[in-house]
Structure formats: structure tokens, C-alpha cells
Structure 1
Amino acid sequence: MQPARPLVGQVVTVFRNRLRPEHEAAYADELAVVAALAREMPGFVETKTFTADDGERCTVVTFADTDSHRAWRDHPRHREAQRHGVADYYAEYSIAVGETTYASAFVRD
């Protein structure tokens, strides 16, 4: 499957975190539910998660525009998962959100 091409106006969230080891299983269960919900949201483009050698995780989530991103940010089930993350899952996290002002892509045939 080809990656989604970036487009000007898309909203990209970069979510960096480290999990508390004793809660990894519960986190994985909740993540499965919340990620499936995100994929069903209008304006959802893609999400990918990467894990660094030192255990830090980075999830990049893209929505088509500000309104669709805001709807996801404020979704009650997503808010519930955020509360669980702070209370239980994360040792630390940071979030950066930005609107794409320039976009380019290359795919070798």
C-alpha cells in the first residue's frame, strides 16, 4: 500500500511517549479500540507508530483538516483514553500538532 501523500492543510500530530512497563498490556488493549475508532472518523488520513531503540514511542497521526482533527481530539472515547494514559500508561509524553503548510512526496516506480 502506498503511503498517503501529504497535502497542504492537513493536520499532523506527533505524539511521543514512554510507557510504564507494568501497564503495556492494558495500553495495547485500549490502543486497539481507540485506533480503530480513529480510522472511522471523518477526515482521518493515517496513523503510524514507531519505537526507538531506547523505548520511546512516536505516533504520527494525520487528519485532513482542522475540523476533523478537532473532532478526533474532542471525541469522548478518545478523551477517556487520554485520561487513562495520564493515570496509568505513560511514564512521560509530549504532543505537537501542526497544520501542513508545505507538502511534497516522491515514490520511485
Structure 2
Amino acid sequence: MIVTIFRSRLNPGVRDEYDPMAKQMSELARKVPGYVAHKGFVAEDGERVTIVEFETEDALRAWSRDPDHVMAKRRGIQDFFSEYSFQICSLIRSRARTPQSVTQSHNE
């Protein structure tokens, strides 16, 4: 599994334009073969964090090269983000508890 952590801060006054584009990108990402999940959070200080999971690097690469996503990234850099960073990570170990079981995964 490949995990991307995207951190950003929005420029003042751009939310009305940014939010519909972000929603469109979320819907588009779900259609990429190998997409697993994503979720976004906003901290009290305004920092935004989005965690995106894909099954493989090839799936992530397909998402990063999608023409609509390329245009959205460009627009984010030019118009929406006062700052941003991302990290792409390979999952080494995973553990989860669900209401029915505890699962573990190792990728070593």
C-alpha cells in the first residue's frame, strides 16, 4: 500500500472556488483502479491534511498523471495554497481494530 500525506494552507478568500474543485478531485480519485481510501482534516490553525491510500505505486502514478488532477494541482499551486507539502510512503506495517476483529498486515 502507498500512502500520500498532503498538507496545505489555503490563501484567504479562496474556499468558494477551492471546495468544489476538491470535491471533484475526491470523486475522480475514487474511480482510479487501485484507489483504497482518502480522508481530509482541518486543524484549528487552518492547516489541512489529506491522507490518500492506493494499492500500488502504479495506481498512485495513474492518479498523479490524470489530466484533470494535473490541472487541479497546477491551480492549487498558483491560486489556492499559501503553502503545501506532500510525502509519499510505502506501508511497512499496519494494525487495525474493527468492531468484529483485530487485523494485522506486514509488508516487510
Question: Counterpart of 1:94?
Answer: 85
Question: Counterpart of 2:76?
Answer: 85
Q: Could you list the structure 1 runs, at least 4 aligned residues long, displaced by more than 3 angstroms after superposition.
A: none
**Which protein is bigger by CA-based radius of gyration?**
2
Aligned-partner residue type, residue 32 of structure 1: K
Question: Shift of the alpha carbon at 1:107?
Answer: 2.3
| Distance of 1:95 and 1:44 partners within structure 2 | 18
Aligned-partner residue type, residue 39 of structure 1: R
Q: Which has the higher contact order (CA 8 A, sep 6+)?
A: 1
The count of aligned residue pairs is: 100
Question: Counterpart of 2:10?
Answer: 19
Q: TM-score, normalised by structure 1?
A: 0.88
Question: Counterpart of 1:37?
Answer: 28
Match of 2:79, SS state, is: helix
Question: Counterpart of 1:62?
Answer: 53
Question: Shift of the alpha carbon at 1:108?
Answer: 4.1
Higher normalized strand content (fraction of residues)? 2
Question: Counterpart of 1:48?
Answer: 39
Aligned-partner residue type, residue 70 of structure 2: R
Question: Counterpart of 1:103?
Answer: 94
Q: Any stretches of 5+ residues in structure 1 without a counterpart?
A: 1-9
